[in-house]
Structure 1
Amino acid sequence: MSASLVEAKRVFDSAPFIASLGCHLDTLGSGVCHSHIVLAEKHQQQDGYVHAGVQATLADHTAGTAAVTLIEEGQRVLTAEFKINLLRAATGELLICRSSVLKPGRMLIIAESEIYTKQVGSADDCSLVLVAKATVTLAVTNK
């Protein structure tokens, strides 16, 4: 595994807030990161849907991790801005995020996250329901 992928794995796994939500890293590659959360009652808002904050956090953190795979040693990324479109009420047993870098850059990286829900008993991607989409702008800084 390259040094940038090792650093990206560390970034994903070492954030205490992310761990408290139960976020899990699934796929990591150059400019790509996929993750998921096994949904529980703690992830719900008052009407039983997945809280928008949970969706936004997973979209932001997964996009940031995708960006980390492209930066140089001694650099880090910090979210400068993000926009999320909540497309439908999210229910299910898994929250899945697929993030990829749209535009790498020396100072700014633009990434996109798609958030899906899935019932655990369904094995194929046809059962995924797109519930949110986010665009994340990340500032590249020196440590």
Structure 2
Amino acid sequence: MSETLDLDLARKVLAAQPFSVLLGARLTAFGDGEATLELDLREELLQQHGFAHGGLLGYAADNALSFAAGSAVGSGVMTAGFTIEFLRPAQGETLRAHARVIRAGRTRAVCRCDLTTVDGDGVTTLCAVAQGTIAVTEPTPETERDAP
């Protein structure tokens, strides 16, 4: 049976991911089918033109999508697949990935994620969008009951 997740527990889950720790990722919001993940855009995370590397955006989308699903269906989740569309180069001080559940069922959750950058003045710029399917590996009593 899955445990109920809150922001503190979700942050512990993130901290248990060595790659997330290496990147310096942090959860700034979590709950009610939504999650926000942020990373500081430091030099070693950029590509040769000075923009955030596309792999970094993919990582942020993947994790934000999974955390959003986890906030709706419990901690037993795993990414089944996602797509990402890059809209403009990601540059600024912070990369923010905000994901939300569109539909959660017994075995899958479909989520969307907006990836924005935040500059030093607090101006946000949408740089990519992603959609993902998250597999529910440990259904909760709520998802069992609400499943079609």
Q: TM-score, normalised by structure 1?
A: 0.87
User: What's the CA shift for 1:36?
Assistant: 0.8
User: What's the CA shift for 1:69?
Assistant: 1.2
User: What's the CA shift for 1:7?
Assistant: 4.5
2:133 aligned with 1:137: yes
* Alignment partners' CA distance in 2, 1:88 and 1:19: 26
User: What's the CA shift for 1:70?
Assistant: 1.8
Calculate the aligned-residue CA RMSD, in Å.
1.8
Show the counterpart of 1:116.
116
Show the counterpart of 2:17.
15
User: What's the CA shift for 1:28?
Assistant: 1.1
The answer to whether the Cα contact below 8 Å between 1:8 and 1:66 also exists between their aligned partners in 2 is: no
Secondary structure in 1 matching 2:76: strand
User: What's the CA shift for 1:10?
Assistant: 3.0
The answer to whether the Cα contact below 8 Å between 2:26 and 2:39 also exists between their aligned partners in 1 is: yes
Secondary structure in 1 matching 2:73: coil
Counterpart residue identity of residue 4, structure 1: L
User: What's the CA shift for 1:114?
Assistant: 0.5
Segments of 4+ moved more than 4 angstroms: none
Q: How is 1:69-108 mapped onto 2 (pairs within 5 angstroms)?
A: 69-72=71-74, 76-108=76-108
Show the counterpart of 2:43.
41
* Alignment partners' CA distance in 1, 2:64 and 2:94: 15
Counterpart residue identity of residue 118, structure 2: K
**Structure 2 spans left out of the alignment, 5+ residues:** 140-148
* Alignment partners' CA distance in 2, 1:108 and 1:119: 35
The answer to whether the Cα contact below 8 Å between 1:102 and 1:112 also exists between their aligned partners in 2 is: yes
* Alignment partners' CA distance in 2, 1:19 and 1:62: 15
State percent identity of aligned pairs. Answer: 31
The answer to whether the Cα contact below 8 Å between 1:31 and 1:67 also exists between their aligned partners in 2 is: yes
Count of aligned pairs: 136
Q: TM-score, normalised by structure 2?
A: 0.85
